[in-house]
Chain A
Amino acid sequence: MTEGRLRKLILGDAQADRVVPPSGFTAQLTLFVSGAMAFLTVFALALSMASGRLADQWAEELARAATLRINAPAEQRAAQTEAALEILRQTPGVATARALTGEEQAALLAPWFGAGVPVGDLPLPQLIEVTGDDAGYDAQGLRLRLQAEVPGAVLDDHTRWRAPLVDAAQALRRLAWVSILLIGGATAAMITLAANAALAANAQVIEVLRLVGALDSYIAQAFIRRFTLRALTGTAVGVAAGMIGVFLMPEASAEGGFLTGLGLQGWGWLAPLLIPPLGALVAFAATTRAATKRLGELS
């Protein structure tokens, strides 16, 4: 497309615009559908970004954190804990290792037993919280060494439940992207149908324009501009509504679990702003295609 044509498309040619009669109802429908699609896209986008964030966060946190459980008779527990801590301190890649206090262990069990149960009296294993540094540590080597020196120690590096969680988050992100692509495709299909209907409804107008020497590109432009602007307006409204919706979602909190983290964060708030231009682009391409095809079929 030439620069002149592009400028004309954006700035418009008020005179040229009038040659196609205004169409009230289909215009409203196009606006409504592109708005609704944009609204859905905002949520799909928020879901994709949040699940991506969760996947990264879980993978990272779980990869670095591990728990060492010491199952030993009460009289040996302190000694084995001490020995295990010593080994952990010597292990390269372990940033911190800290034995949980009785109160902390009680707090962890409180959701299951209730606050009133004297968990301190139970023969609980001692837990040691291990945090790796960025380089990480060799879990297999650590396990072997602990086996030899602290027979009651069991290292749980969370791999068992880390992998499915991360997989689930990533699958969620993929689904969100597929949804966005489907929404884009559905928008293109809807605009094509609407443009075809408009071209058919205005067959007389097109005939008159051809009779007085209008080029196909001139006729097409009147329709393209109209649908592109409608899609742009519709998606802008839809995105604004969607962003308000996402903004009003509860803040991410420990109590709410991961569900409350389903918002947009930081630069992520800029991503939905790309939807209206992309929607307009989809409408532009769909109308151009429909108009070129349709006009080519006329005499």
Chain B
Amino acid sequence: MIELENVGYNYGGGELLHEVSVQLAPGSFHFLTGPSGAGKTTLLKLCYGALMPTAGRVRAFNMDVHGLDRDQMAYLRRRVGVVHQDCRFLDHLPVIENIALPLLVSGRELSHEEANLQELLNWVGLSERAHALPPELSGGERQRAALARSVILSPDVIIADEPTGNVDWEMSQRLLQLLVELNRMGKTILVATHDLSLIRAAKNQVQARVLRISNRQLQLAGADL
């Protein structure tokens, strides 16, 4: 699905990532962990093309992201669902329209997707809040709405950046549950988190691999978590 080959990334003030290689196989579940500022978000952005590597190659769906023009990049984003750290909604549109936004921008007929949309809202437990504006939602509701938006186009890969960053334990369990369900449906999942208890909780339910960034390198963490 997504392959990083000796990828380096340099913000200008020194190298943040060095010789990073990883393959996200179809149907796999990966956690990405590491201290704050280690480059978790950067690595995720490299995976969905929001950043270009300064060294090495990133391949997504067998295409080198370096060679993609802006339109091809947009088509790539439709195949990768992203749950941003701070969610990123259009604050002037109600939740339901924000969730349906990927459908809208890819030119799908919204009336045909009405049933899917309702089902998705039920799944993330936001049916009651469908017509609220994003700023009116709680942290957990925002994260669930962002997750619903990321999966509405039925992407092959879902990348989530600290989806449980500012929600309580119960809510993070619920979000994890949703991600696990998606993985069971065959989606490739990559979740950045520094919450080790979340990773432990996941390991009971799904075969997840844990990648750790330390010293600018990516390491496969053992079962010692």
Contacts and interface: CB of A to CB of B under 8 A. Distances in A.
Co-complex (A, B): yes
B90 A214 contact: no
A296 B71 CA distance: 11
Interface stretch (B75-83, B124-132, B199-207): B75-83
B84 A211 contact: yes
A4 to B, nearest CB: 10
Interface string B66-103: 00001100111110001010001111110001000110
B93 A213 contact: no
Contacts of B91: 21
A216 B74 contact: yes
Most B CB within 10 A of own CB, among A19, A205, A207 = A19
A216 B73 CA distance: 10
Contacts of A295: 70
A212 interface: yes
A209 B104 CA distance: 10
B89 to A, nearest CB: 7
Given A15-B104, A207-B88, A218-B105, A212 B149 contact: yes
A269 B74 CA distance: 49
B208 interface: no
Interface in A194-235: 204-205, 207-218
Contacts of A218: 105, 107
B215 interface: no
B138 interface: no
B78 A213 contact: yes
Contact of B93 (A18, A204, A217): A18
B118 interface: no
A22 B93 CA distance: 11
Contacts of B102: 212-213
Interface residues of A, number: 23
B70 A296 contact: yes
B160 to A, nearest CB: 13
A208 B93 CA distance: 12
Nearest to B98: A208
B70 A212 contact: no
A19 B77 contact: no
A212 B106 CA distance: 9
A250 to B, nearest CB: 52
B74 A21 contact: no
A216 B88 contact: no
Nearest to B80: A213
A7 to B, nearest CB: 14
A202 to B, nearest CB: 10
A213 B75 contact: yes
A207 B74 CA distance: 12
B153 interface: yes
A16 interface: yes
B63 interface: no
A205 B90 CA distance: 6
Interface in A11-50: 15-16, 18-19, 21-22
A215 B74 contact: yes
A299 B149 CA distance: 21
Interface in B187-210: none
B82 A211 contact: yes
A220 B73 CA distance: 16
Contacts of B25: none
A211 B153 CA distance: 13
Interface string B106-121: 1100100000000000
A211 B78 CA distance: 9
B50 interface: yes
A217 B70 CA distance: 10
Contacts of B50: 211, 299
A16 B77 contact: no
A208 B106 contact: no
21 contacts: A15-B110, A16-B105, A19-B90, A22-B92, A208-B90, A208-B101, A209-B105, A210-B74, A212-B77, A212-B102, A212-B149, A213-B75, A213-B76, A213-B77, A213-B105, A214-B74, A214-B105, A215-B105, A217-B71, A295-B70, A299-B50
Interface of B: 50-51, 70-71, 74-78, 82, 84, 88-93, 97, 101-102, 104-107, 110, 149, 153
Given A16-B104, A208-B90, 19 more contacts: A15-B104, A16-B105, A18-B97, A19-B104, A207-B88, A208-B89, A208-B101, A210-B77, A211-B82, A213-B74, A213-B77, A213-B78, A213-B105, A214-B105, A215-B71, A215-B74, A216-B70, A216-B71, A216-B74
The 8 A-B residue pairs with the shortest CB-CB distance in the complex, in nearest-first order = A214-B105, A213-B78, A213-B77, A21-B92, A212-B102, A215-B74, A208-B88, A213-B74
